Copies of this chain bind each other. A is one copy, B any other.
């Protein structure tokens, strides 16, 4: 199973390994005993549900579609999860775990230089979201629509990665190699740049941009914005008045019209 494992991180982000972890985490609800059978079928289920959901949305994906795509009967599916929501949760958990695990495995020498550390975080995140692209898209698109446990976990995960960026920025500011007005805000701005890679990957593909190139360009862009300028700090004075017309105090806040029956 392991063979060409690069860092000593001990984590593997291939489909099969990820499904193995799902199996272990949900041993109690998964009714199939033999691990190799269970994991093999989980692979087919997860692969199918990611494909179908990323095309039409999780809610629009029916278990009959999933059954056909995975090659497992309706009843068979219920040996692997006790309801549609659980299936969603299985995937979301795995994504959140993978992100934190991958980004925390920063090599010690890299951590020394804030600029290099930042570039490493960006490159690692892009590489991870490239390997697990369908998972990331799924988590990003479906996280909002579901039960509090999943929502909380997703938000927490996002904040955790944001904090990692903030810490690096702060270290850079202290070391004098970054010039940042608001560390937290700038850290927040980096996240959407990383998300764009997997959310709109098709667009980049079409333009011949691959993961490594994307990461390098984003690093360049971000580092350019952070690098202290010699003098002439021309902060944008304030945005040019770009107020949109919004016809007086319209938009009645309480348009409750009485119905016949309540």
Contacts and interface: CB of A to CB of B under 8 A. Distances in A.
A112 interface: no
Interface string A8-34: 010111111100000000000000000
- Name the residue among A15, A110, A245 with the largest chain B CB count within 10 angstroms: A245
B44 A245 contact: no
Contact of A240 (B5, B71, B119, B209): B119
Given A5-B245, A239-B212, A145 B16 contact: no
Interface of A: 1-7, 9, 11-17, 40, 43-44, 47, 56-57, 59-60, 71, 102, 110, 116, 119-120, 122-124, 126-128, 131, 141, 144-145, 181-182, 184-186, 188-189, 191-193, 195-196, 203-204, 207, 209, 212, 215-227, 229-230, 235-236, 238-240, 242-248, 250-251, 255-259
28 contacts: A2-B247, A4-B247, A7-B245, A13-B245, A13-B246, A14-B246, A15-B250, A43-B255, A59-B59, A119-B236, A123-B240, A124-B244, A188-B196, A188-B204, A189-B196, A191-B196, A192-B192, A192-B195, A192-B196, A193-B193, A212-B238, A216-B238, A219-B239, A220-B235, A221-B225, A224-B225, A224-B226, A227-B229
Given A2-B245, A124-B244, 18 more contacts: A1-B247, A1-B250, A12-B246, A13-B246, A14-B247, A14-B251, A16-B251, A57-B59, A57-B145, A116-B240, A123-B242, A182-B217, A189-B221, A212-B239, A216-B236, A216-B238, A219-B236, A224-B225
